Amino acid sequence: MKGAAILSRSRFWEGGSGTSFKGSAAQERLRQEEVFSFDSSRYDLRGLAARLLAEAGPMVGFGCFVGSSLSLERFRAEERTFSSFAYEKAWRRCVLGCPSFLACYDRLLEEVICPRLREKLEEAGPVTFYCQHPPTVRLQPGRSRRSRMLHADERYGHQAGEINFWMPLTDYKLTRTTLWIESSPGEGDFHPIEVHPGDVAMFHGTLVRHFVPPNRSEHTRVSMDFRIGVGQHFDPDWRMLGLQHYHPRRTVVL
């Protein structure tokens, strides 16, 4: 079983026998960086996140909104919310306790994200997508030195058969802070993902390195990210030895 799991983890990028994408157009399409848009009025994750923060933020010590505005950029986030694992766990529980936010996320997965992935695959028959659930919603305070260090997700137990999705919930024109990624593993040619609410960036974050610099603006930056394991190229039973936390998954079959 261990050997099979290791093969499952490596075949997506490097190729292998049987179910490998090696040499196919599908492999190239899946591992390419791509930005696409969705209807942010139909999938109003920004508005739902604001209402969740208004209710839960003060109770769990994340911060509070300034004045009567529920604009996410005006949420005054505590400095440690961006880098504290304890706060990350508390915030995850808040997201899990918000049925309306999760329902909107589920619809986005089923109606936009997974169909987009399915179009890139050549295999016939139904494909199972293993979607992170809940997504990770991140708050990065303004005027802060806190950053997300350079890394590739394989160091945190993610498999090569996963694809990363990253989407801003705040206005990039205000924060001027975003995710930076390289074009392919080890290239070092980092560039900013200049996207706005209603856009999604897709990239192969297991092996492609990425980071987030400090937010030098006066506005809080909020983003959402998640990973999806692709069909037979993802092993839902594989675990990195010694790693205690794994993202729960829900499946979408198309």
| Amino acid at residue number 222 | V
Assign 3-class secondary structure to 39-86: CCCCCCHHHHHHHHHHHHHHHHCCEEECCCCCCHHHEEECHHHHCCHH
Residues in CB range of 8: below 8 A, 6 or more apart: 159, 161, 232, 233, 234, 235, 238
Vertex 59 angle, CA 55 and 62, to 5°: 90
Please give the Cα distance from 55 to 71 (Å, whole number).
Answer: 14
Please give the Cα distance from 101 to 157 (Å, whole number).
Answer: 26
Please give the Cα distance from 99 to 105 (Å, whole number).
Answer: 10
Q: Could you tell me the CATH number of the domain that includes residue 201?
A: 2.60.120.620
Cβ atoms of 161 and 139 closer than 8 Å: no
How do residues 227-254 score in pLDDT, each as one tens digit?
A: 999 998 899 998 888 887 788 999 999 9
Residue 230 lies in a domain: yes
Please give the Cα distance from 112 to 91 (Å, whole number).
Answer: 25
How do residues 51-107 score in pLDDT, each as one tens digit?
A: 999 999 888 888 999 888 899 999 999 888 887 788 888 889 999 999 999 999 999
Residue 173 lies in a domain: yes
Residue 44 lies in a domain: yes
Whole-Å CA distances, 56 to 62, 65, 68, 94, 99: 8, 11, 16, 7, 14
Q: Is the pLDDT of residue 210 over 90?
A: yes
E-strand stretches of 102-183: 128-132, 136-140, 148-151, 162-168, 180-181
SS3 109: helix
Residue 24: which pLDDT band, with cuts at 50, 70 and 90? low
What pLDDT, on a 0 to 100 scale, did the predictor assign at position 43? 99
How do residues 148-196 score in pLDDT, each as one tens digit?
A: 899 999 999 999 999 999 999 999 999 999 999 999 999 999 999 999 9
Write the DSSP symbol of residue 232. Answer: G
Residue 29 lies in a domain: no
The residue written with tokens 């998640």 in the block is 226
Cβ atoms of 129 and 230 closer than 8 Å: yes
Residue 8 lies in a domain: no
Strands 191-192 and 199-203: unpaired
Please give the Cα distance from 133 to 98 (Å, whole number).
Answer: 13
Range of the domain at 62: 40-253
Residue 2 lies in a domain: no
Note the pTM of the prediction, 2 decimals. 0.89
Tokens of 61: 């010590």
Residue 215 lies in a domain: yes
Residue 21 lies in a domain: no
Domain count, the chain: 1
What pLDDT, on a 0 to 100 scale, did the predictor assign at position 23? 46
Q: Is the pLDDT of residue 12 over 60?
A: no
| 50-88 core/surface letters (b: 16 or more CB in 10 A; e: else) | bebbeebbeeeebbebeeeeebbbbbebbeebbeeeebb
